Amino acid sequence: MNIHYNDNVIMHFLEPINVGVLENSDGEGIVGDMTCGDMMVMYIHVQDERLADIKYQVFGCAAAIATCSALSEMAMNKTLGEALAITDEDVIRYLGGLPDPKAHCSTGAASALHQAIADARARQKPQL
């Protein structure tokens, strides 16, 4: 199988942004399974109903890494509602597309962020 990534995907893969762990995060979301492939963990800090910081760890292919990087860039400083509205398709569009055989690799990033927001809302202040 011959897979071609566009320049934006390659940039987010080779130079991913916001990689890491947030100590004392307000919320965490985990998607995937190490036994079958891609795994993503999103960490968020929330301030004034906005995503003040996002970090992630990802184990997976170039598409999985690129989608986590792109999603973190897209969601930074958004309100929680705006961040929850981001879909996998939005991330793929933001990247300028993914090869069809790799589109499934993008499905974890938005879900991990949505889980992190749900976690923050469950364990933090009522106004979240």
Identity of residue 18: N
C-alpha dist (Å) from residue 78 to 11, 96, 110: 23, 21, 14
Q: Which residue of the set 105, 109, 110, 113 is catalytic?
A: 105
Percent of the chain with pLDDT over 90: 71
Residues 71-127: pLDDT tens digits?
999 999 999 999 999 999 999 999 998 877 666 666 789 999 999 999 999 987 665
Mean pLDDT, residues 54-80 taken together? 94
Q: Which of 24, 36, 48, 126 is catalytic?
A: 36
68 included as an active-site residue: no
Active site residue 36: yes
What is the enclosing helix (H) or strand (E) of 99?
none
Sheet containing strand 27-32, strands side by side: 27-32, 39-47, 50-59
What distance in Å separates the CA atoms of residue 32 and residue 34, rounded to the nearest whole number? 7
- Listed residue (47, 65, 10) closest to 56, CA to CA: 65
Q: What percent of the chain has pLDDT over 70?
A: 88
